[in-house]
Structure 1
Amino acid sequence: FSAKQSFTGFWENETTNQLSTENLSKSNLTSINGNQNTYGLNLLINWLDYKYNPRKGFYLMLETKSGLKKIIGNKENNKIVIPISETNEIESSLFVPEKSMVYQGEIQIEGYLPIWRLISLKLANNSGFKFNDYLLDNDLFRLGGFRLLRGFDQQSIFATNYSIFTTELKILFEENSFLNLFFDQSFIEKSTITEKKTNQTSAFGAGINFQAKPGIFSISYALGRFEDTRFNFSSAKIHFGFINLF
């Protein structure tokens, strides 16, 4: 194994500015202007035998951060006024603090077990949480697509908390090329000012990574479903990815 370990600290600033001045009620109150300043720590352990196409080894990424979330808007009684509906007869609003603490964490664990010369079993988990009493959609994790949760549209699932378990069988036929069969199972929670719900997803499929002159191309075919739906081949997704090797 070529061992690599690191422990770092960081500061982040995130700013949200709405492009439209349309009343929030018409967009289901999914975002509002604001910014977020956080400080965090990151732990990385990389004991993989090869970065781009491992056959054996262990990988861990653990990141936590916390800080201050600030909402920008009209004030009333030291609270920010967020309109959620407005008609000629009724006007409804939420009153939230201008500043509040936010806490976030993510973990990525991967283990690769060699089964035979060119066959390896990957077991993985990706999880994350975000805690704040005044979250909107623009504050949440975005899941779905090639990188995280195959079988669903790119970044189509919004989550406050999530945990994704992956089982993947890989057949390695070149240094940067392999075929795979995979199954993803996730548990998802969404908790915002206006919406609270939980869901589960399941997805399975197959894919190929292959080396070309520009880099590594990835293609995956996946079927995904929520807990209250069935697998439907007409809604299958094809995901494309590319890694540029310098």
Structure 2
Amino acid sequence: MQKTLFLTLIICLFYSSKVICQNLSLQIYGINKIENQTIDSIGYLKFHKNYTSITNEIDSIQNKLYKIGFIESTVSEINKENDSSYSVKFNLKTKFYTIYIYYDKTGINTDLIKTVSKKVNPLYFELPIAQIERVLTFLNTKISDKGFPFSKLSLANIKTSPNGIIQADLVVNSENQKRHINSITIKGYEKFPKSFLKHYLKIKPDQTFDLTSIKKKADQLNNLRFAKQIKSPEVLFTKDSTTLYMYIEKSKSNMFDGFLGFGTNEETNKLDFNGYLNLNLVNNLNFGESFGLQYKSTQGDQKFFQADVNMPYLLDTPVGLDLQLYIFKQDSSFTTVNQTAKLNYQINSKHKLFSGIKTSESNNLLNTTTTNSISDYKSNFITIAYQFTKPQYYNFLFPVNTSIFLETGFGNRKTSVTSEKQTQLNMDVFKIFNFNQKNSFYLRINGSNLVSDSYFENELSRFGGINSIRGFNENSIFATSYIFINTEYRLLLSPTIYIHSIIDLASFENKITNTKEKLFAYGFGFGILSKAGLLKLDFANGKTNSQKFKFSNSQVHLSLTANF
């Protein structure tokens, strides 16, 4: 008895599951074999959960047939074969391949039509049937971008002919009045500098309304350090006005950077320390301005102070102003003071041009000297520069993907007895090659060249250390010209931790001492992003071409960059 009951339950469960899971089947066919092949080539869903799904599938097939040229196709009533099977019959009729669309030149520009059709006549243009929907959508978008956001395109007076050609009239329905931006409202960061809307994003009142262009321009907000877009722009239309709403959030853009380096002094065989501080304040007055302050004390009793001020879009013009003061002191040998004033013009969010003047004055602090390598002088240069920046702000560790800075200066240097023409060339370029989310390669090329008939030690370029070629003391190398290459293979261990290799190469020339040398540095490092900022540690060993590897020449560089 129990066995019989058990078998009965199994049968009931099996049967009920079949009923619950049973699908409705649909069979679609044409009036002949060729039509059946056409329908099968389109493909359709044969099994459905309910009757509504069947009717939706039939409508979908008919729309697909219309798009490929069977615009006169008809469908029979749905036939119920049994409780779970349905069938329907299509009559595809004639297939049309080409449509002649007649248009009015006052409603749509002929040049615009030529972008979508190769066969344009004064009265009509030709299109393959399969392209009708795509082309009408494209034309409507272009008309909308010209300040008519409510424009609609449709085909009327459709006529067919036996030779597979359709004729139709293009009807353009749009507002009589062209839409312009009447006002712009900022939400979230109400004190966002309006000059950046006008000159950086190039969005301003009375501009022709083009929502596609506005959204692309608004995305450039993410290229700014002090602001970002939190929501796509929205538009409020009234009968006689158009109001654009932009959603912006203020970002933490102030930065404090510092590092501590230490290594063994070859002369005293003692541990030497050097340090570096960098403070950068951005947009604290809500004008997009920036102020930078740097101070460095390095091995060899070198000290330098630098202050930078950037004021964009002066007096609501597209021109900005950059000012810089640079003071360098080499122990008790000399001091050099550089002053720079540049006007800048931001072409767009990535490209920037500079032009200005640079003056230098250096004083020999030695009371007596047996060499002419250090001398008092004054110099003046006219400078021209170009900057390109491509950000990747989705990456908190490496927010800039590509940076290019090129500068040249033409001027002269005067001493108490001579005057010489000089040329300065400077380059700083880096690029991050992202292989995938965890692996990337960093490449930086930096170079400088001073062209002159004679040289003084106190006007030479100085490099070496964590911001140039690692494994060497800060600013320990003097050169009339140099170029160095930094490379790092980076492996992301987590969103906030990475490790990297260090392979640096450099070549420099000092025409005062008739020295040409190649430098190499090898090592490794890591970075950790915490609430306090980005902590980086680099361990590198540097050597010249003629030196042998010595572990005692290794340098450890620590730096901390904090945003607030």
Contact 2:356 2:382 in 1 (8 A): yes
Query: Out of 450, 462, 474, which is 1:130 matched to?
Result: 450
Which residue in 1 is equivalent to 2:549?
231
Q: Quick one: which of 401, 404, 408 aligns to 1:60?
A: 404
Change (3 A) 1:120 1:43: same
2-structure distance, mates of 1:213, 1:33: 48
SS at match of 1:116: coil
Shift of 1:31: 1.7
Aligned to 1:105: 425
- Letter of the 2:354 counterpart: T
Distance in 2 separating the partners of 1:64 and 1:212: 39
2:513 equivalent to 1:200: no
Q: 1:7 to 1:125 in 2, by over 3 A?
A: same
Match of 2:391 in 1: 48
Q: Which of 381, 403, 414 is the equivalent residue of 1:38?
A: 381
Q: Provide the secondary structure at the position in 2 that maps to 1:153.
A: coil
CA spacing shift, 1:164–1:71, aligned 2, 3 Å: same
CA distance in 1, matches of 2:534, 2:435: 24
Given residue 6 of structure 1, which amino acid in structure 2 is its aligned partner?
Answer: K
SS at match of 2:552: helix
1:13–1:177 Cα change, 3 Å? farther
Residue in 1 aligned with 2:488? Answer: 168
Distance 1:176 1:196 in 2: 46
AA in 1 matched with 2:534? I
TM-score with structure 2 length normalisation? 0.36
Cα distance between partner residues in 2 of 1:101 and 1:56:
37
What's the TM-score, normalizing by structure 1? 0.80
The reply to whether residue 19 of structure 1 matches residue 365 of structure 2 is: yes
Structure 1 residues 114-153: aligned runs within 5 Å: 114-153=434-473
- Residue aligning to 2:264: none
Contact 2:496 2:530 in 1 (8 A): no
How far is 1:232 from its partner?
A: 1.0
Seen in structure 2, the aligned counterparts of structure 1 residues 214 and 20 have a Cα distance that, compared at 3 Å, is farther
Give the fraction of aligned pairs with identical amino acids, expressed as a percent: 21
Which residue is 1:158 aligned to?
478
Distance verdict in 2 for CA 1:237–1:30, change over 3 Å: farther
C-alpha distance in structure 1 between counterparts of 2:547 and 2:458, whole Å = 26
Are the aligned partners of 2:540 and 2:556 in contact in 1 as well (CA < 8 Å)?
yes
3-state SS in 2 of match to 1:138: helix
Write the distance in 2 (CA, Å) between the matches of 1:151 and 1:237.
5
1:55 is displaced (CA, Å) by 7.4
More strand by share: 1
1:91 is aligned to: none
Q: 1:244 to 1:35 in 2, by over 3 A?
A: farther
Q: Deviations over 1:121-151 (max 9, x none)?
A: 1122111111112211111110111111111
CA distance in 1 between counterparts of 2:365 and 2:496 reads 42
Alpha-carbon distance change, 144 to 176 in structure 1, aligned in 2, over 3 angstroms: farther
CA drift at 1:174? 6.0
Does the 8 A contact of 2:397 with 2:529 survive in 1?
Answer: no
Alignment partner of 1:8 is 2:326: no
Runs of 5+ unmatched residues, structure 2? 1-221, 224-348
Within 2, Cα distance between the matches of 1:42 and 1:177?
35
Helix, strand or coil for the counterpart of 1:180?
A: strand
Cα distance in structure 1, aligned partners of 2:562 and 2:378: 33
CA deviations on 1:132-190 (whole Å, 9 max, x unpaired) are: 12211111110111111111111111111111122211123566653221201111111
Amino acid at match of 1:41: I
Higher RCO, 1 vs 2 (CA within 8 Å, ≥6 residues apart): 1
Shift of 1:242: 3.4
Unaligned 5+ runs, structure 1: 73-79, 81-97
Aligned-partner residue type, residue 108 of structure 1: D
Is the contact made by 1:46 and 1:60 (CA closer than 8 Å) also made in structure 2?
A: yes
Deviation at 1:5, TM superposition (A): 1.6
SS at 2:435's partner residue? strand
Cα distance in 1, alignment partners of residues 510 and 404 from structure 2 = 25
Secondary structure of the residue that 2:472 maps to in structure 1? coil
CA distance in 2, matches of 1:156, 1:58: 28
Matched residue SS, 1:183: strand
Q: 1:174 to 1:140 in 2, by over 3 A?
A: farther
Residue from 43, 46, 70 that aligns with 2:414: 70
Q: Secondary structure at the match of 1:231?
A: coil
